Structures are given as C-alpha cells and as structure tokens.
Amino acid sequence: MEEIKIHTLAVLVDNYSGVLSQVTRLFSRKGFNIESLAVGTTDSPDTSRITIEIKTDDSHAKLLCNQLRKLFPVHSVKHLVEDNEIRRELVLIKVKAETSEVRNEIFQMTNIFRASIIDVSLGSLTIAVIGNEKKNNAMQNLLADFGILELVRTGMVALERGTQTINEETKEKGEFDYGKNVL
Amino acid sequence: MQMTGAKILIECLLEQGVDTIFGYPGGTIINVYDELYQYKDKIHHVLTAHEQGASHAADGYARSTGKVGVCFATSGPGATNLTTGIATAFLDSSPVVFITCNVPENLIGKDSFQEVDITGISMPITKCNFQVNSAAKMADTVRSAFAIARSGRPGPVLIDILKNATLGKAEYENLSREEHFTHGSLAALIHRASHDFKAPEPDMDDLNKLAEMVKTAQKPLLICGGGVVLARAQQEFEAFAAKLDAPAAFTVMGCGGISGRHPLTTGLIGMHGSQASNMAAANCDLLIAVGCRFSDRVALDPRSFAKQAKIVQIDIDRAEINKNVPTAHHIIGDARRVLELMNEKIDQSHHEEWKKFVFHYPIETKYEVTGETLNPKQICDTIARIIPHDSIVATDVGQHQMWCIQNFKFDYPGQLLTSGGFGTMGFGLGAAIGAKVAHPEKTVIHVTGDGSFRMNCNELATEQFYKLPIITVVFNNTALGMVRQWQHLTLNEHYSETTLIGRAPDFVKLAEAYGLSGAHVSTVEQLEAALKEALACGHGYIIDCAINIDEMVRPMVQGGRPIDDFLVY
C-alpha cells in the first residue's frame, strides 16, 4: 500500500464559465473528495489557476493529473512535490473579545503569529492569518479558547520553489498535447 | 455577410463537408429545421423514430466512414434521449457532433418547458461541450467542435444552442477548413495543442527503444485495439505483425484492424477470447498493445495480466498509459504513423516455436449440431457464405455480439459496428441505418438478439421509409442470453427475469407491420433461403433464427480472474 497523504495539484485553465465545474466534476467522478480548492485568474485574464488538494496515494494523484490534462480547457497540470512547494492559505477568524484583557491577550498572540487584526468591535476581533495548515491550525486552536464566532479559509494556494513554473515544456506535456492534436 | 444563427450553423456544416444529418425536430430547434428546409438539395436529413436511434445512426455513420457524424435534437427530452448514444460514442471514441437547441436565454434557469441543462448532463460523456448564446459565436464554436471531435483521440462533442442564437443575426464569412485554424478560438487551441501547426511526430527515442525490445523478445504478442481501426492502420498493423512474426489478438473494438483471415491472428482476446489469444497473453514475454486501453473485459485481472511480459502500450491518448495495467514502455502517437515508422526500423524476426505453441490452442469454438434448432456458428457461417464479403455488420449487445465477433472474419476497419465499451443494447439497428445511408452500395446486416431487438425496433420505421434494405438477423433464444449464461455459471441457475418465453412480438409479423418482410428459420436450409430472399427483395428483411435457450458463449473467463483461467471452454 502506498502512503495516503495530501497532494497539491495546480491546474492552469481557460477562464470561461463551466471550466471549474468540468475540473471539479472529474474528482467526484473518479471518487475523490476535494480537501481544499482555490481559484483565481493569473497574470493573464484569459487563464485561471486552480489549486486543488486531495487525500490519496501517489499513483492515484498521477492518474488524476492525466485525466485533468485531457480536458480541452486545461493548459497544464503540475503535481507539486511536498518539499519543493510553498503553500499558503488565508484564514479569517472572528473571535469573541468582550473585555480589554481578552483583546490585549489576542493582540499579543496575533503579533507572535505575524497575523493581523483587520476588524475591531466592542464584542469581537477579526484576525487574518496567512500560512500553511500547521501555522493556521495552531492559531485557530489558540483562539478557540476565546470562542470563535465565525471562520473562513480561502483554500490553499501553492507555487513551486525556484525558477521552474507550471508552463514548462516537458516531454510528458508534449505527449498530452499530442492527444489533443486538433490539426 | 449578415445571416441568422441557424443559417450560419448550416453553412458551417457545409464547410465541414457534412451531407447527412440524423435527427428529430422540436420546439427549440425549429429555426434550424426551417433553415434546413432551404438546404434540402445539399443536406440529406434522416428523420428517425426516436432521438436515441438518431444518435446511434450518426455514430454508425461515423464508424463506417471515418468521417464526423452529425445528430440533431431539440431541448429537454430530445436532448436527454441522446445521452445513451453520446456515451456509446464516447466509450468507443467515435467522432460525432451532437447539436441540441435549448430554450432562449431569457428563459434559461426558470425550469421552462422542455428546458434541461444538457451541457451539465453530457459533461462526463463528451470530449468537450459548448453552449452558444449568440449568433456571433456560432461559426467559431461549430468549427472548434468538429476539429475537436475528429482530432487526437476522436470522440463526441455536444453543442447546445440557445433558441435566440438561432434567430439572432451575425456576420458570417465562409472559410475553408484550413483557414479555420488561423481564426477564432481554434487558432489559440492549435497554438497550444498542435505544436504550432506541425503535425506531431512520435518520439524517436521511444521508437528506438521498442525496436531494441523487439530484437530480444522470444515470445512477442500483439494486441490490435480500437485505435488501429480508428487510425485505419490495418495495412501497417499487418505488416508489423508479419515483420515481427508475432501472433496478434484483437479486442472487440479492434475487429477489422487485422483481417480475421490473417494467418497470424489468434482471434478475440479477453473474457470471451479464444484459447489461443488468452494462452498467448499468459505466456508471452513481450506484449505490444496498439490503441487498446486494457479494459476489464481484456485485462480481466490487471495484476496477473501478461505477468511474464514486458508490456508496451502504443496510444494516442497519454492518459491511457498505465491507467489500467502498468507498462514497461509506451509510445504516444497515431497508430498508423507509429507502426509505419516501426516497420522501417525493425528487421524480419522468426518465432516458429512460439507460434507453434500459441496456434496449437484452438481459435474457434465448436458448437454441437442438434438439428432441432440452429447453433450460433451455423448461423454465422451461413451468413458469411451467402452475403458479400465486404458487407458491413452492425450488432447489438449480448451473446449474439460475441458469436459474431468470434465467427465472422472481418476484413477491414469499419466493417464491424458494435458498442464495445458502453455495451449499449439497441445500438445495432440505428448503427446499421447510419452505415447503410453512408454506403448504399454495400450490404448491411444487423445482427441482434431477441432482447436487444425489442429495445429499439421502432427504427424499422426509418428503415422502411428511407428504403434501406437492411437484413436483420435475430438470434432468438427466448432469453436475455448473456445474463442468463452468468446466472447459469455463477448464480446457481437462478434465472431471475431473464427468460423471455411467450413474449410478443412475433418478429416476422412485426416486419410486416412496418411494411417489410421476414421469415422464421430453424435450419440451415431455411436460413440460406431467407438470406437469398432478403438480398433480392430490395427492402428491409427480418430473419428470426431459433436457437437453444441454453446455448452459451464459449470460452469464457470470469471478470477479475487470470486470463487463462477458463470457466468454460
């Protein structure tokens, strides 16, 4: 048995309606639950980048990449490797803070985590924290004691370290493009 | 020139060289049909009895010609009736463009009359699908759809056109097919997927590596898959087999990719594969599969499949590599081009011992002659003796399908039309209609079972009206034979809902009701006479052949079992 762990897939796609559902549909069809999903346009407004995290083994992650590459709106897919990727997620946490002691304590914690307080009211504080799941979970656990009123995550986004990019022309990419050949 | 979306659509079909459409009109597609009325002399529209029939006909047309088939249907139930046909085309990589219309944009999302999200429904069963919401997008979309349907690994593409887009006007400029690639979204797609207009070539290092592997192989086996048929690479495949001096098995979809009469063929491989094919797979040391995805009907147990062999996969679709069976090497490319290049690279090999081993196993199955009813081999042999050799055979799904494949010798790609991947009962008659429309000069024979034929026999009306003299041969065992066979072999003979004894209709009377003729036969002489009459009569003809209810498709290996572990011989 191969090890089951979180795999990050970065998918570069055409930016038009229906593409996201095509991509996500593939995961349910092949029996995978999406653990995290983040979508946004890239430096070109015509292309979007989808970052998807799934829990599976290595060979299934590879098969999923292959199926994704077959879709016509998909330009390229990168299966990011654990020690060669940078992953970040933004979490907004609204915490109960009714006294000045509590507000002070939370303020100190946010400083230590290099998070920021982005909204203050007499009854609550809203904190923005950016990090990987370790850091974000630690922050969340600490704040849980004060009473979390609401929490939202953007979903993980990731890039490869160094100069390599998702657009690299590899032999494998050429092979997939052959299958799409529209000549 | 300014014209309506409907007119642009028809003009774009003409750009693609479309002269035949199978379809069914309705409320939302009415403007397209109105336009079609003006183009009667250029486009032949075949009105079927049901949209499903139209979908299979367009598919049969595509499979038998190698061209893109076209199918029209209206919104709602018209569109959903296509889905079985779309999935059938998808699983067998058949290039068909399905065109549906939908309610106008202002009614979308309001659960309007006959509204359905067909692009959503068809997403997992099309190569790509589009929705056109304005006439301005019509030409670009149709051009992309056709290019995508026939390129790379072919497959179905669906275009859903909102009714307002058929009425609205836009500028249209007639472009040749070559010019399509420099305009609109195809220009962008081709830049990305087609290596900037250079027809892609298989990788030389990959070819060289296979040439090395071939040199050292002592017991090579070839598998001819659907990719060989789609690439029309029969000549190259047969030359490759001859140079390699290797036995060659074929899959259901690979029928006709190597002639059934070729001295090196071992027949069908897999669940109902011949002993020769399956024993070869279990004992070979190099297995080269061309255009084959190792489905669960071929590699029944992926872990033990050809476990003594290095497996090499030649496929146009990179996603098929290692999907079902792990491989030692692969080459990405069009089957014809890869084999052509390989044939230049390799020297003549000789594998006498190995061939002797493989061919001492039988390729054909013997069936008992009882005299009371016909046996499947008698039916197939008689048909083959009477009808012209180049006749096209369309089948439905079940025992008769396997008997056909095991016993007929298919000589060229596109001669057999069968639903191999999706296993669609009721595919045959529609497909036969499509093939007959495309090849009026050829004899088209529709082989079916009594179960399958009941599913879509409504298309006899189409056969009658368009004067398509298709010969339907019903293998009538008064049962859903394939399921019954499984029940017999694996479920303690619990024949749950598979016995059809006493069920209407009488197929000969049915033929008469549709203005066709037919005959019940139970001996070879009667069958011969009926076939001769069918060939001479000039209209559709149904031959109802009585066979024994307990007749089985043999040999058989159970799903999930090693390929040489025969349940019955």
Contacts of B190 in chain A (CB under 8 A): 182-183
Residues A48 and A10 in one domain: yes
Rounded-to-integer distance, Cα B194 and Cα B112, Å: 41
Instruction: Report the alpha-carbon distance of residue B411 to residue B391 in Å, rounded.
Output: 10
Q: Which residues contact B149 (CB under 8 A, 6 or more apart)?
A: B68, B95, B96, B97, B127, B155, B156, B157
Cβ-nearest to B194 among A63, A66, A181: A181
Question: Is residue B446 situated within a structural domain?
Answer: yes
| Domain, as residue range, for B517 | 376-557
Q: Are residue A68 and residue A110 in the same domain, yes or no?
A: no
Residue A170 belongs to a domain: no
CA A85 to CA B568: how far, in whole Å? 54
Tell me, yes or no, whether B389 and B279 share the same domain: no
Put simply, whether B127 touches A (Cβ < 8 Å) is yes
Chain centroid, CA B19 distance in Å: 21
> In this structure, what token pair is assigned to residue B38?
């003006």
Task: Answer yes or no: is B198 within a domain.
Answer: no
Q: Is the pLDDT of residue A170 over 90?
A: no
In tens, the pLDDT along B185-197 reads 898 888 888 776 7
Chain B residues inside the 8 Å CB shell of A172: 318
Judge whether B284 and B421 are in contact, CB under 8 Å: no
CATH code for position B432: 3.40.50.970
Restricting to B residues 328-357, those with a Cβ less than 8 Å away from any Cβ of A are 332-333
Coil, helix or strand at residue A74: strand
What is the rounded CA–CA span in Å between residue A153 and residue A36?
9
Q: What CATH number should be reported for the domain holding residue B349?
A: 3.40.50.1220
Cβ of B128 under 8 Å from any chain A Cβ? yes
Distance from CA of A87 to the nearest CA of B (A): 27
Residue B415 and residue B461 share a domain? yes
Question: Could you list the residue range(s) of the whole structural domain that residue A146 is in?
Answer: 86-157
Q: Does residue B231 sit in the same domain as residue B270?
A: yes
The type of residue at B358 is V
Distance (Å) from the C-alpha of residue B153 to the closest C-alpha of chain A? 6
| Structural domain count of chain A | 2
Cβ-in-10-Å burial (0-12, 13-18, 19+) of B100 comes to buried
What chain A residue is nearest to B117 in terms of C-alpha separation? A18
pLDDT averages per 10-residue partition of chain B, 569 residues: 97 97 98 97 98 98 97 98 98 98 96 96 95 97 96 96 97 94 89 77 96 97 98 98 98 97 97 97 98 96 95 96 95 96 96 97 92 92 96 98 97 97 98 98 98 97 98 97 96 96 96 97 97 97 96 95 95
C-beta of residue B541 within 8 angstroms of C-beta of residue B516:
yes
pLDDT band at A173 (very low <50, low <70, confident <90, very high): confident
With tokens 């998909």, the residue in question is A74
Q: Tell me the nearest-neighbour CA distance from B282 into chain A, angstroms.
A: 25
Cα gap A113→A94, rounded to integer Å:
16
For A171, the token pair is: 């032999």
Residue A11 lies in a domain: yes
Q: What is the pLDDT of residue A181?
A: 87
Amino acid at B569: Y
For residue B150, what is the nearest residue in chain A, using CA coordinates? A182
How many CB pairs below 8 Å do chains A and B form together? 81
Find the length of chain B.
569
Same domain? B151 vs B189: yes
Q: Is B565 among the domain residues?
A: no
Average pLDDT, chain A: 93
**Domain termination residue (choose one: B160, B193, B226):** B193
Tell me the β-bridge partners of B159.
B99, B130
In a domain, B174, yes or no: yes
- Taking the C-alpha atoms of residue B75 and residue A61, their distance in angstroms, rounded to an integer, is 37
Asked whether the beta carbons of residue B152 and residue A178 sit closer than 8 angstroms, the reply is yes
Q: Is residue A57 part of a domain?
A: yes
Same domain as A105, residue A47 = no
Catalytic residue annotation of B = 51, 113-114, 163, 482
Which pLDDT value is given to residue B194?
78
> Are A177 and B131 an interchain contact pair (Cβ–Cβ within 8 Å)?
no
Q: Do residues B156 and B22 share a domain?
A: yes
pLDDT for the residue numbered A1? 66
**Nearest CA-CA distance, residue B334 and chain A, Å:** 9
Q: Do B194 and A177 touch (CB under 8 A)?
A: yes
Name residues whose C-beta falls within 8 Å of residue B28's C-beta, 6 or more positions apart in sequence: B74, B75, B101, B102, B103, B104, B114, B163
Any A CB within 8 A of B197 CB: yes
The answer to whether residues B116 and B16 belong to one domain is yes
Same domain, A76 and A91: no
CATH number at residue A120: 3.30.70.1150
What are the pLDDT digits (tens) for A27-60? 988 889 999 999 999 999 999 999 999 999 998 9
Residues A71 and A98 in one domain: no
Residue B321 domain flag: yes
Rounded to two decimals, the pTM is 0.96
Domain count, chain B: 3
Q: Is residue B366 part of a domain?
A: no
Does residue B530 sit in helix, strand or coil? helix
Which of B124, B128, B186 comes nearest A29 by C-beta?
Answer: B124
3-state secondary structure of B378: helix
Closest chain B residue to the Cα of A25, Cα to Cα: B124
CA-CA distance, B56 to B63, in Å (whole number)? 10
Query: Residue A145's CB: how many other CB atoms inside 10 A?
Result: 9
Looking at the domain assignment, is residue A145 inside a domain? yes
Question: What are the b/e assignments for B107-127, b being 16+ CB within 10 Å?
Answer: bbeeebebbbebbebbbebbb
* ipTM of the complex in this document: 0.90
